[in-house]
Structure 1
Amino acid sequence: MPAQIYSPFTNFNFSNNKCFLTGQNVNPTEERIQVFPQWLMSRYELEDKPFKLLDESMATYKDLKLPCTAEVNERYIEPLENEIAAAFDGGYEAVKALDENKLFQWAGKLLYGIIFNEVQAGIKLQHSQGEEFNISQSIIHKFNNLHMMLQSLNLPIEFDGFKPYSLVLFKVDNADNVFGYRDEINTMTFSLRVNDFGLIICLQDNGANARYHQEALDKIAGQTLHPIQFEELNARFFYSAYLFNRLPEYDIFTIEDTISIEALPLRGTSSKPLFDDWMNKTYGQVLENFWKNWGFLLLEIIRNPEKPMSFLFDADGSFKNGNALELPK
């Protein structure tokens, strides 16, 4: 019998009795894994740090868990975690040498784990108020696609001639023990700045955001970034992911024992550009948030509304050397 893709969104089953990846029954008290892997939490002392959920309730990093069969954990999750942990220990060069699909699977499992906990919290909250759980169909579409592609961990799934994500990796001159993590589950965007590197992944765009920023990426290719430069790039990707206005669609074929996923053209039948118009004031607000550590305010960032402040590029568009930046202490 050919492998079957599992979709928890069909029956909206987000109980702790079903494995998040396969839908198999689990022991809800014993068969659970951490969303943020133990190695990452231990390395950056995250276990008891606060983590705010979308409903404004507070959890800790160690509170976020996923139901997972012991077999799935042992065969698929732990080997991936061990490989990623070793690469993170090795720093930028070791992470660069990884198969990008493994970074996608690792980030996807983490982001999906947050989604799972958010959905659980939402169901619990709305049921306590006597309401049915309600979530937009477009968000379900994105979540379902991410979960489908995450099953490339445990099923013979191949992406036919495309990557479902944009992924950029840069060497960054980080301080010791920095842990810079951000996510935006509505746009499926993830970033992590640790050790000597920074990683940004748009998990559901078929590479569109990387193509959108290609000119900037070409200019900074091979450069070591100052943290403020990486956060500027981060802001650009998070904002463009917000502007991205397509819901990717896929055809799925089973050929012998392989499940093949083929991306349909993003343009589809619409004549609209793939991205809504870039608004510098809105981008400035995003950048202000990403630059909080340096204290820059929106009025400074968009003093020239046509050219927001940049530490990546000078007035003629050339890359700025991170070592020569003058920043507030």
Structure 2
Amino acid sequence: MSQSFFNPFEELIFDEHFCFLSGVLTTENIPVFPQWLMDHFKFGEERIEMMDKSKTYHYSDLTLPCSPKVKNAFAILDEKVQKAYKLGYEGMASLDELLLFQWTGRMVYGLLYYEMQYERNRLLRLGEEFALSAALRERFGHFHLMLQSIIEPISFVGKKPWSIVVFPLKYSADIFSYRDDAINLMFSFGVNGFGFIACLQDNGIIGEKQKELLDKMKGHTLHPVQFEELYARFHYSDYILQYKPEYKIENCESGITIEAIPIEKKGSKPIFGFWDEDIFAQLLANYWSVYGIEREDILRFQRPMLSFLENPYSKDFINPEAIDLPY
């Protein structure tokens, strides 16, 4: 590309003096999680673990160095999302997917930033060099470039790089549920009124894989246990995806355009690997632990796997109102 933007994954720059998005020197910062969100659900003083479980932070202590330009751009975005949030499902569903990508991407990248910083510092104490594989540098670099669309002349054409689904969801009031996988660039968010799931760099293939189920959901307000199962399906599908998402990135007079190249089967290698019910059941059990549902309850001897989304025999969508579990 003749026109290039800051890419921290080229030199592995995760320094508090440089804006996380633009790379310019700065003394300002923004919280990884929007302040209004932490205030509304009062989780700022709760703790979050790094992936290796040996380091925790208060949510409110997670901040990203940023320039005034970036800070202002995310303040405007936060205001739009907060306004849509107050309108519930209809408000969130009306948001352009790019806004949801940018809003979600800021949180996912923030957690990724802390993982990178933590691992770099850990290795430095051991006298070892911090390095990332070429594949991860490329993947995270593409993600960072896409996130810069909030401040730079970067636009998306044709097929989008993400799968984002928004749906009605019923929770008890003031409950906030979110899950993330920063390394695999995934995020889920659920409150009373709506939920959404975002695979931020799958070129839409996971949304296509789950399309039949998503179509069956239309017109229903999901039970939280269904929400968790849906995210588990997206998450596991990402795990068994066998092709690397690729992009067509071009310069134009107005900036840079990004087009996701459709993921297609090549030769005999399927797009998704084998769906292992044992592994999926363990993942699902982790998500359903709040209901006391364990792996053994999901993998039932001589019976179909437990699901709260589809009847295992007819494949009909299960009416959320028929589920006798708490919200």
C-alpha distance in 1 between matches for 2:185 and 2:93: 22
Q: Which residue of 1 aligns with 2:138?
A: 141
Is 1:236 matched up with 2:220? no
Gaps of 5+ in 1: none
The alpha carbon displacement at 1:328 in A equals 7.5
Is 1:43 matched up with 2:40? yes
C-alpha distance in 2 between matches for 1:180 and 1:131: 37
Is 1:174–1:195's contact at 8 Å kept on the other side of the alignment? yes
SS of structure 1 residue aligned to 2:8: coil
Q: Which residue of 2 aligns with 1:208?
A: 205
The alpha carbon displacement at 1:99 in A equals 0.6
State the AA in 1 paired with 2:4.
Q
Match of 1:150 among 141, 147, 150: 147
1:259-287 superposed Cα distances (whole Å, 9 cap, x missing partner):
11123342375641121111111111111
Q: Percent identity?
A: 40
TM-score (norm 2): 0.95
For residues 215 and 293 of structure 1, do their structure 2 counterparts lie closer, same or farther at Cα, with a shift above 3 Å needed? same
Match of 1:106 among 103, 106, 112: 103
State the AA in 1 paired with 2:68.
A
SS of structure 2 residue aligned to 1:10: helix
Is 1:6 matched up with 2:6? yes
1:59-70 mapped onto 2 (5 Å cutoff): 59-70=57-68
For residues 47 and 328 of structure 1, do their structure 2 counterparts lie closer, same or farther at Cα, with a shift above 3 Å needed? closer
For residues 63 and 271 of structure 1, do their structure 2 counterparts lie closer, same or farther at Cα, with a shift above 3 Å needed? farther
Q: Which residue of 2 aligns with 1:327?
A: 325
The alpha carbon displacement at 1:213 in A equals 0.9
The alpha carbon displacement at 1:288 in A equals 0.4
The alpha carbon displacement at 1:139 in A equals 2.3
Q: Which residue of 2 aligns with 1:227?
A: 224
Q: Which residue of 2 aligns with 1:23?
A: 23
C-alpha distance in 2 between matches for 1:156 and 1:103: 18
The alpha carbon displacement at 1:326 in A equals 2.5
SS of structure 2 residue aligned to 1:224: coil
Count of aligned pairs between the two proteins: 324
1:1-329 mapped onto 2 (5 Å cutoff): 4-27=4-27, 31-56=28-53, 57-74=55-72, 76-267=73-264, 271-304=268-301, 307-314=304-311, 315-327=313-325
Is 1:3–1:257's contact at 8 Å kept on the other side of the alignment? no
State the AA in 2 paired with 1:8.
P
SS of structure 1 residue aligned to 2:114: helix
SS of structure 2 residue aligned to 1:225: coil
C-alpha distance in 2 between matches for 1:162 and 1:102: 16
The alpha carbon displacement at 1:258 in A equals 2.5
Q: Structure 1 stretch 267-276 or stretch 132-141: which is displaced more?
A: 267-276
C-alpha distance in 2 between matches for 1:297 and 1:146: 35
TM-score (norm 1): 0.94
State the AA in 2 paired with 1:91.
G
Is 2:203–2:262's contact at 8 Å kept on the other side of the alignment? no
1:213-270 superposed Cα distances (whole Å, 9 cap, x missing partner):
1111111122111111111111111111111122212222111122111233423756
State the AA in 1 paired with 2:138.
H
1:141-197 superposed Cα distances (whole Å, 9 cap, x missing partner):
221111010011111111120111001111011111111110112221100111311
Gaps of 5+ in 2: none
